[in-house]
Each structure stands twice: as structure tokens, then as C-alpha cells.
Amino acid sequence: MAKMWAGVTDGNTAQIADDFNSSIRFDCRLYKQDITGSMAHAAMLGAQGIITQQEAETLIDGLQGILEDLESGKLQFDMTCEDIHMFVEQVLTGRLGDVGKKLHTARSRNDQVALDLRLYLAQKTDFLIGLIRELVQAVTDKAEAYKATIMPGYTHLQRAQPITFGHHLMAYAMMMLRDLERLADTKKRTLISPIGCCALAGTTYHTDRRFEAAQLGMTDICRNSLDGVSDRDFAVELLSALSILMMHLSRFSEEIILWSSWEFQFVQLSDGYTTGSSIMPQKKNPDMAELVRGKTGRVYGDLMALLTTLKGLPLAYNKDMQEDKEAIFDAVDTVEMCLKVFVGMVETLTAIPENMKKAAQKGFINATDLADWLVKQGLPFRSAYKIAGQLVARCMAEHTVLEELPLAVYQEYSDLFTKEVYHAIDLTTCVATRISEGGTSVASVEAQIAYVKEQLG
């Protein structure tokens, strides 16, 4: 098929080569950014006298028409075009004749595609930030509701110390606040304009790159034209930040899956966010959480694909870079879906406080508090730790728990013991007295909730 770029070659490429080379089936989603970028470019060419103002206006109107026609469905993408940039230019030239051919003055598809991608990702980043904020809000609301609900806290997945469900949930809110920060930071380096870098070396025309950047709401320009067309760091950063976010969601999913199992029964997922089994009528499967956990690997894969595509590339543009898009689009689409589903899943999740409490009551989760109480009576921590350990061993041997061990038995191990010890090892006391900043007491968790709310603004 004869090409717009037929120059030294006759442009008659083999059909298979066309199919292999073409990216329109996935880069067509950049149409809006491509057209907006071209409008800014036409305006700059006009303002600089590289084309006449009249021509600039004609181009801008023509581009606006294409945008409207695409959005109304009057115009469809031509999948025989090589990419979205060629498609828009071809339609424009078809509609405007020779004036259309002037649009590509002082630019290249190399700076054009970099610009389109930056504009697209900046917008997507904002959208994803909005979804993460919704999720942080949902998690914080749940935490508020369960700020006094006692559950076992784990290390090594062994019962460790009592905490509240609200405290546990707020840990995820904190992680996601950092995710928000990472995305906002990435966006700063995304909104930098490569347009005007042209193919790689800049241009002989008297262009005004800052004018174009300002028109597009970008905050700066790429300062080196080779870097401008070669740089995909902004996308690598975004996919890294999204991978970290997914890692958080995956850990959260893993816990939701555990908690909703028959073995734990700490939480109940709403029917809207669970599935049944085609054979086992009793099943209520946490598929949403499992899929988020599964899709995390997929997003990591997208990041790896992008990094690997870029790692061996000499400067400046190489066609390998066309491979960036599918990975990037897959990552943002996947994360978007995961976040949407997660918000609903968290909003409709309910805790089963009795089961959480029951699980916290066994497993000597208050052994640290027992040791701490002895320390408060004047014993050094290591000695107190040893006595608490011996008492736990005694309970185990006698199939009882610390709460039920008679005072006389306590006193066999230390004459410091009084009946006050029972209050100290009561789970409610254990939680209520962990008043350190960031700790599990209701007041500490309330402070965490207030902090997150303040950060959300």
C-alpha cells in the first residue's frame, strides 16, 4: 500500500509488513490527545508566521471537525492507516487539501507520539488518583465503624497481640496515601512537553516550544531534543507506582480472602462481590479479591515489558518504542478496573466482631501485656518476659488460658502478682492502653483517621 511517507522507497510495503508495523488498533485511543496536540501545533505555526494565521485557523477548524466527527461516530478509524497520527493527517488532508499537508511542518511523529502519550497518561493519572481517593475514603469509613472491634493482630500469621479491625484497615489507608503521593509526583514529570523536539535534532524553523507547552497545560519543555523523543521514564514511573499500588491491593485481597474463609470467618463479603460455585451449593467465593491479587502479576508484567523494551535502545527513537503502548494501556485499564471493584467490595464488607474477639481470646495474645504489667511492678523486662513465658507454658500444659489461671498459680512464679493482673491482661485493656502514636487504642486510631481525612482534604 502506497504510504504518505513514500520518499526514497516507493512506499509499496508488503501487506504482512503493514499489518506488523501498524499500531492504529491500539493507539487510536490517543485520538483526542493527538488532535489537541495538533491544534496547539497549528496555532504555534500560525503565531510564528511559519504558516499564515488563516491557514492555522483552517487547520484548527478542520481538526476540531475531525474530533467532533469521531466522537459522534460520524467518522470511524481507518484500520488500514499505520497509526493514529497518520490517520488524523490523512483525514485532514482529505478534507482540506493542500493546507492539511502543512500541519506536519516542524514536527515528527516521534515528538508527536511522545506528546500524545504524556497528555493521555497525565489525564489517566488524575482519574486513577480520583479512584484511589474514593478507596481510601471507603477504607477509612470502615475503620471508623470498627475502631473498637478487637481482633488478633498477627506476625508470621501467628496470633501476636490484640489490635482493632479499624487499626488494621487504617494500615491500608496509609499505604494508599503514599500511592497517591507517588502518582501526583509522577504526573509532574509527565506534564513536560516533547513537542518541537521533532525527529531527534530540533528544527530549522523558528518555532516556539513554550507556546505549545503552555497551550497544552504542560509545565515545562524537554530540554534536550534527543531525550524528548526517547524518554519514556514517565510511563515507567507510572507503571512502577501502579505496581506498588497493586502490591498493596494484593496484600489486602489476600487478607480479605483469608478473613472470609470458614477457618477465620472474620468478615463477610456482600453477595454483590462474591460468586457461587457451579457444583458446590455452599460456596461463596471471594473472586473479586482473588482477581485483584491475580491481576497484580499482570501489572508487574506490564512494567517489566516496558523496562525490557527500553533497556537496550540506542538514542533516539526506535520503532521498538511502539511496543510501549499496549503494556501501558493494559496496566492503566487493569488498575482502573481493580480500583472500581475494590471500592464496592470494601464498602459492602461487614466484619463479624464475635469471631474476631473469639480468635483473639485464645493463643496467649496478651502475653506481652502480662510481661509489661510485671515491668510496671518493678521487674526488668527480660525477667518479666521469662516469667510470662513460663506462665504460658503452664497454661498450655493445663489446657487453660492466662485469664483463667488462679492467682495462687501466678504467685508461684512471682510474689509481685496481685489480682490487678487480670485487668491488665483483659483484651479490652490491652487495646485501650496502646496509646502510643500510631498504636491500636481507639484514640490512636481516631488520630490516624483524622490524619487521613486531612490529607484527603
The residues annotated as belonging to the active site are 156, 277
Q: Does 164 bind ligand ARG (CB under 6 A)?
A: no
Q: Are strands 158-164 and 150-155 parallel, antiparallel or unpaired?
A: antiparallel
Single out the segment in contact with ligand ARG by CB under 6 A; choices: 56-64, 235-243, 280-288, 318-326.
Answer: 318-326
Nearer to ligand ARG, 113 or 338 (CB): 113
Using alpha carbons only, give the angle 152, 157, 160 rounded to the nearest 5 degrees: 45
CB 60 within 8 A of CB 54: no
Residue 29 neighbours by CB distance under 10 Å: 16
Site string for ligand ARG, 18-57 (x = CB under 6 A): -----x---x------------------------------
Nearer to ligand ARG, 21 or 361 (CB): 21
In whole angstroms, the minimum distance from the beta carbon of 113 to ligand ARG comes to 4
Q: What cell does 230 get?
A: 526517547
**How far is the CA of 421 from the CAs of 13, 373, 377, 404, 432, in angstroms?**
86, 7, 10, 11, 15
**How far is the CA of 266 from the CAs of 254, 337, 347, 354, 404, in angstroms?**
13, 26, 16, 8, 25
Nearer to ligand ARG, 109 or 142 (CB): 109
Nearer to ligand ARG, 108 or 207 (CB): 108
Nearer to ligand ARG, 329 or 364 (CB): 329
In whole angstroms, the minimum distance from the beta carbon of 83 to ligand ARG comes to 4
Tell me the site size for ligand ARG, rule CB under 6 A.
10
Q: Does 321 bind ligand ARG (CB under 6 A)?
A: yes
In whole angstroms, the minimum distance from the beta carbon of 104 to ligand ARG comes to 12
Give the residue from 168, 225, 162 showing the smallest Cα distance to 192.
225
Site string for ligand ARG, 78-117 (x = CB under 6 A): -----x-------------------------xx--x----
**Using only C-alpha atoms, what is the Rg of the chain?**
31
Distance between CA atoms of 272 and 335, rounded to whole angstroms? Answer: 20
**How far is the CA of 234 from the CAs of 28, 121, 146, 217, 302, in angstroms?**
20, 9, 39, 17, 14
Distance between CA atoms of 308 and 347, rounded to whole angstroms? Answer: 38
Distance between CA atoms of 269 and 288, rounded to whole angstroms? Answer: 10
In whole angstroms, the minimum distance from the beta carbon of 30 to ligand ARG comes to 9
Q: Does 230 bind ligand ARG (CB under 6 A)?
A: no
In whole angstroms, the minimum distance from the beta carbon of 324 to ligand ARG comes to 7
Binder of ligand ARG out of 38, 193, 322, 441 (CB under 6 A): 322
Single out the segment in contact with ligand ARG by CB under 6 A; choices: 261-269, 316-324, 336-344, 368-376.
Answer: 316-324
CB 395 within 8 A of CB 402: yes
In whole angstroms, the minimum distance from the beta carbon of 321 to ligand ARG comes to 5
Single out the segment in contact with ligand ARG by CB under 6 A; choices: 88-96, 271-279, 315-323, 368-376.
Answer: 315-323
By the criterion CB under 6 A, which residues form the site for ligand ARG?
23, 27, 83, 109-110, 113, 317, 319, 321-322
